[in-house]
Amino acid sequence: MDPLTVLEVAQAYVAAGLSVIPVKPDGSKAPAWDLLPREEDPQLGRTRPVWKPFQRRLPTAQELEAWFAPGRCGIAVVCGAVSGNLEVIDFESVELFDRWEASLRQTGSPLLGALPVVETPRPGRHVYYRLPLPPAGSRKLARRQPTAQERADRPRLLSVVLIETKGEAGYVLAPGSPAACHPSGQLYRHLGGPPLTAIPLLTEGSLP
Torsion sign over Cα 12, 16, 19, 25: negative
Mean pLDDT of 90-99: 94
Taking alpha carbons only, the member of 189, 164, 180 closest to residue 70 is: 180
pLDDT classification of 37: cutoffs 50, 70, 90: very high
Q: Name the 3-class secondary structure at 161.
A: strand
Q: What pLDDT is stored for residue 44 in this prediction?
A: 75
Percent of the chain past pLDDT 90, that is, above it, reads: 75
Separation in Å, CA 179 to CA 25, 30, 73, 98, 170:
8, 14, 10, 25, 21
Cis peptide before 183 (omega within 30 of 0): no
Quote the pTM value: 0.91
CA 129, distance to chain mean position in Å, is: 12
Choice among 86-90, 160-164, 183-187, 204-208 with the minimum mean pLDDT: 204-208
Strand pairing report for 160-166 and 19-23 = unpaired
Per-residue DSSP letter, 45: T
The predicted-structure confidence for 110-151, as pLDDT tens digits, reads as follows: 898 999 999 999 899 999 999 999 998 889 888 777 777 767
The predicted-structure confidence for 49-68, as pLDDT tens digits, reads as follows: 999 999 999 999 999 999 99
Buried b (16+ CB within 10 A) or exposed e, 37-76: eeeeeeeeeeeeeebeebbeebbeeebbeebbeeebbbbb
